[in-house]
Structure 1
Amino acid sequence: MSYLSLSTWSLHRNLGPLRWTQWDAEARKHVFVETPQPELMKLVDLPVFLAKEGFGALEIGHFHFPSTDDAYLAELKDAFKRAGISFDTILLDYGDISSSDETRRQADLAYIREWIDVAAKAGAKNIRVVAGESEPSDEAALARAIDALLELHEYGQSTNVRVITENFKPLTSKAVNCLAIVNAFDGKLNLIDDFGNFKGESKYEELAAIMPYAVSIHAKAHYDENGMPDLEEYTRCLDLLKQGNYAGAVSLIYDGPGDMWEGINRVRRIVEPYLQ
């Protein structure tokens, strides 16, 4: 059955500073940048709160972790256990495993392996790895991404963490590339299917094409200046869940203006009738 999940991106203005990773091309190393944000709720308190609100799972952006030391990860794992909800996925937003810069690519692979270890210690089932920043027409980049995902997937299995990817960033902005990746794994690599990431006239066909391999749907709407979703467009996306007999996490994504909980609950009321 499908169940309600939440991405911490829907609370990015509420969970304290955002901690971003960047590649310094001149220094040839990773650098870290912090974006100040108020902390209206501690990340470690979120699982219990969501359980009381009827959510079945949570996805956490890597930039929301205030710490990755062992003591904090054990505390977070215990918070999910006490709440009785699933820590579905760490959403790792950084890394270009499709890069032709081999120094950058190897550094990013090492960085991603570190986050797979974090996922294992925190009790996350999955880690979402970005397939790459390269253009979707770059076949050599796609091959590099597939090689890297094969390596990372094997590493993840050794730690009991499932490596997945998403129709996110340029390389997987077309369903044909998402499917090429899946086919390289004989259909055994899973995806996140994000409503907001395919563009153009073929959007709905592409969303439907990758849905059989999805373990999470990012139910993202188009919002106006008041945070109101485009209901017709959103409903057309949600209809694909029933058409595809989707059974898995449906993760609410609200990134519009105003109070974030009001926005989350606004889209929740639209999504809940589609949960099967």
Structure 2
Amino acid sequence: MSQSVSRRSLLKAALAASVMAAGSFIPAYAASLIPEVYSHLFKLSLNLYSFNGLLSRGEKDLFDMLDFCARHNFDAIDPTGYYFPGYPEVPADAFIFEFKRKAFLLGLDISGTGVRNDFAKPDTDSRRKDITLIKKWVEVAAKLGSPNLRIFAGTSSHEGFSREQVFEWMAKDIRECCDYGARFGVMIALQNHNDFLKTADDVDLVFDLVNSDWLGLNLDIGSYRQKDPYTEIQQNIGRAVTWQIKENVWIDGVEKPTDYVKLFKIIKESGYRGYLPLETLGPGDPYEKVPNLLSQVRTALEQV
């Protein structure tokens, strides 16, 4: 027998020893369920909302964005559903597959896609339409090979209803979407967007109410505005399955440049492995802003 012992074996042995010391035991199968500790892996993606103006006006299209991402050596692209022809209706399969084919030939993963919805609305029929929309786009995501579909909590006034009531119906609606996503292998990625969900505690509450393995967090670093954003990120980071890495965060009610080294150290220490989609906002030319953000991010990653 080799004298070298893997880190995984050490973890198993340590856990077994601690449980045995407590007067219990681990069934033989349980040792195989102990997760291995991996090193971090970050893959940079581009959320196409960065080009919202140009895409919405039809001056650029999704295929132009594939070329842009390849030119700047992104690992992936995150094409929001709004930019597909005919949205909110789903695009034709021929379009989906041609986009997927070109992405593959350019070496780009499709890290996610997303839709607009509002589960804060008291009107049941309106929320039912949004559930139908999400289900249709779950199928689009599956065809694209996207591992997740981004959704929102909602922004509508819920006058006459308590926040507790909204959380209850919102969780029920999201759970139905998650159950549908599970049928197609697509996770539902709920975004904290400073809408109905404003704090890390809000995020934790809705996740606990939904209670689904198919729900993950699209962690938007620019939308924690009530408390210290880095503390809020640390609280929610275990739920993150994708991100919106932005130029600025909010501290004490003031928008300040993101400390990318601090941010990526937090993400690295959490054990997160996966995509880090970048998103620029506000005025300016995205053909200048995105490369600038990408350069800052890559410089910071070299220090982590």
Instruction: Flag whether TM exceeds 0.5 (same fold).
Output: yes
**Aligned Cα RMSD in Å?**
2.5
1:81 matches 2:104: yes
The equivalent of 1:66 in structure 2 is 85
Q: Spell out the pairing of 1:1-276 with structure 2 (5 A cutoff).
A: 1-15=41-55, 18=56, 37-39=57-59, 41-67=60-86, 68-92=91-115, 94-133=116-155, 138-183=163-208, 184-185=210-211, 189-222=215-248, 230-231=256-257, 233=259, 236-275=262-301
Structure 1, unpaired ranges of 5+: 19-36, 224-228
Secondary structure at the counterpart of residue 171 of structure 1: coil
Change (3 A) 1:232 1:140: closer
CA positional deviation for 1:135:
7.1
Decide whether the 8 Å contact of 2:199 with 2:226 is kept in 1: no
**Structure with the higher fraction of residues in helix conformation:** 2
Change (3 A) 1:251 1:69: same
Change (3 A) 1:242 1:74: closer
CA positional deviation for 1:63:
1.3
Moved more, 128-137 or 185-194: 128-137
CA positional deviation for 1:201:
3.1
Structure 2, unpaired ranges of 5+: 1-40, 250-254
Secondary structure at the counterpart of residue 178 of structure 2: helix
Change (3 A) 1:273 1:38: same
The equivalent of 2:24 in structure 1 is none
Change (3 A) 1:244 1:49: same
- d(CA) in 2 for partners of 1:122 and 1:186? 23
Decide whether the 8 Å contact of 2:191 with 2:220 is kept in 1: yes
CA positional deviation for 1:79:
1.8
CA positional deviation for 1:198:
0.7
Change (3 A) 1:43 1:186: closer
CA positional deviation for 1:181:
2.7
CA positional deviation for 1:75:
1.2
The equivalent of 1:24 in structure 2 is none
CA positional deviation for 1:257:
2.5
| Higher Rg of the two aligned structures | 2
The one-letter code sitting in structure 2 at the alignment partner of 1:160 is: G
Change (3 A) 1:188 1:232: closer
Decide whether the 8 Å contact of 1:153 with 1:162 is kept in 2: yes
- d(CA) in 2 for partners of 1:258 and 1:202? 27
Q: Percent identity?
A: 26
- d(CA) in 1 for partners of 2:225 and 2:214? 26
**Which TM-score applies when normalising by structure 2?**
0.73
- d(CA) in 2 for partners of 1:48 and 1:185? 39
Change (3 A) 1:242 1:135: farther
- d(CA) in 2 for partners of 1:186 and 1:71? 33
